[in-house]
Amino acid sequence: TTVVWEKDTGRPIHNAIVWQDRRTASICDELKAEGYEHYVRVNTGLVIDAYFSGTKVKWLLDQVEGARERARRGELLFGTIDSWLVWKLTGGRVHVTDHSNASRTMLYNIRTLTWDSHLLQTLGIPHAMLPDVQPSSAVYGHTTADLFGAEIPIAGMAGDQQAALFGQACLQPGMAKNTYGTGCFMLLNTGTEPVTSEAGLVTTIAWGLDGEVHYALEGSVFIAGAAIQWLRDGLKIIDESPDSEFYAMKVPDTGGVYVVPAFAGLGAPHWDMYARGAIFGLTRGTTKAHLVRATLESLAYQTRDVLDAMKKDAGVPLQSLRVDGGACANNLLMQFQADILDTPVERPQIIETTALGAAYLAGLGTGFWSREDIAGNWKIDQTFLPQMDAERRNQLYGGWKKAVERTKGWEVDA
């Protein structure tokens, strides 16, 4: 999510552009046509997609009159939400981000650990508007005294999914987690060397700590928990999100129905900005329960897509998967996830691990915790073991893959 604001007043020059926004898809197409895909992948670790911040910044500078010239003069600042919050909390004294958030902008070179001057020039983004890049655990500044009655140190900063990886205590290479939030995000710690994906994943910085940077492979699914919200708020066939488990348990399976929630295109490993959501396999026998169950199962299928890609890149099978986020409280979903992956799924006692990871980083930055404390704090609530036979698993996943292919390129004239 991208914000550009006035340095003197702190006022944004335009509404923030959230991460799911697709308005810059045409800019991405231009970059691809000009041959930038290889350069972007090698130097930023990312694929060219409207998901990331770089094209959003260009759009804002293009669309808001006089913005680019003001940015050149140092009058405008850019930041993802972490930068914006620190700026506001410190009363405009500190303009920073951390390695993990910088690596999600499509403007940051994850090998040199600097803003990429070639991409900045290509997109017409002045260096003067960019935040200073800091470690993920350090005292960046202090809040103004009027906010909380005292000046409180701000000492931890990380992207949502990198914070969850840290909160899950996936501190060693080869450890992985999957977060079920609005989207669904799987990260695999690859250590201090970046691994370039050949299977549609992105290479990202996990965190910067103690003078070194750790990297991760990431698979980003755009719509996960948001699909359940759609059932609740859009179709209004459930009253509350937890009701999805109640209705899904009323039927033994989906009755052949597949829901592909490509409402914002498809993320990893497909990366199709023009895919759109669809429902397949409807019959006269299809009920509300089947539709709810198929929507829930779509979260697990999308995770399987990402995990298969991750296995190809990492070259080793995953022994288990640590899960977190609100939807992992759904036992039916977690059991189906274990079944469709043929991998044990481990749910910790604390499932809001994004907030926990940010707190851990702040605790490290202020000397409250050590890494050993963090690893020792992780406790399992429940392990879900695979119970589905291979023939049934392959049949179900084969149907999913067929459904996904039929959603691709739908918005051909977008």
Each residue of 5-43: pLDDT tens digit?
999 999 999 999 998 899 999 999 999 999 999 999 999
Percent of the chain with pLDDT over 90: 93
Find the range with the poorest average confidence among 26-35, 313-322, 368-377, 386-395.
Answer: 313-322
Angle, CA 297 vertex, CA 387 and CA 164 arms, to 5°:
90
338 has pLDDT over 80:
yes
**CATH: 3.20.20.140, 3.30.420.40, 3.40.30.10, 3.40.309.10. Which one for 160-413?**
3.30.420.40
- CATH class, domain 3-129, is alpha beta
Per-residue pLDDT tens over the stretch 113-130: 999 999 999 999 999 999
On the question of pLDDT at 344 being above 60, the answer is yes
Q: Any bridge partners for residue 322, and if so which?
A: 177, 346
Mean pLDDT of 194-218: 93
What is the rounded average pLDDT of the residues 35-58? 96
In the predicted model, what is the mean pLDDT of residues 356-369? 96
Q: Which residues, 6+ apart, have CB-to-CB distance to 206 below 8 Å?
A: 100, 162, 165, 166, 187, 189, 213, 214, 215, 216
Angstrom distance (rounded) from CA 323 to CA 32: 34
pLDDT at 244: 96
Residue 355 has pLDDT above 80, yes or no: yes
Q: Which of 379, 388, 245 is nearest to 322 (CA)?
A: 379
pLDDT band at residue 205 under the 50/70/90 scheme: very high
- pLDDT at residue 413, as a whole number: 60
pLDDT of residue 219: 95
Residue 58 has pLDDT above 80, yes or no: yes
Angle between helix 331-341 and 288-314 (nearest 10): 40
pLDDT in tens, 207-259: 999 899 999 999 999 999 999 999 999 999 999 999 999 999 999 999 999 99
Per-residue HEC secondary structure of the chain comes to: CEEEEECCCCCECCCCECCCCCCCHHHHHHHHHCCCHHHHHHHHCCCCCCCCHHHHHHHHHHHCCCHHHHHHCCCEEEECHHHHHHHHHCCCCCCEEEHHHHCCCCCEECCCCEECHHHHHHHCCCHHHCCEEECCEEEEEECCHHHHCCCCEEEECCCHHHHHHHHCCCCCCCCEEEEECCCEEEEEEEECCCCCCCCCCEEEEEEEECCEEEEEEEEEECCCHHHHHHHHHHCCCCCCCCHHHHHHCCCCCCCCCEEECCECEECCCCCECCCCCEEECCCCCCCHHHHHHHHHHHHHHHHHHHHHHHHHHHCCCCCCEEEECHHHHCHHHHHHHHHHHCCCEEEECCCCHHHHHHHHHHHHHCCCCCHHHHHHHCCEEEEECCCCCHHHHHHHHHHHHHHHHHHCCCCCCC
Q: What is the mean pLDDT of the chain?
A: 95
pLDDT tier, 149 (very low <50, low <70, confident <90, very high otherwise): very high
pLDDT reported for residue 319: 79
At 287-336, the pLDDT tens digits run: 999 999 999 999 999 999 999 999 898 877 777 899 999 999 999 999 99
The pLDDT score that the predictor gives to residue 100 is 97
Q: How far apart are CA 265 and CA 249, in angstroms?
A: 29
Q: Where in the chain is the domain with CATH 3.30.420.40?
A: 3-129, 160-413
- Does the pLDDT at position 414 exceed 70? no
pLDDT at residue 153 tops 70: yes
Give the residue-averaged pLDDT of 277-282.
98
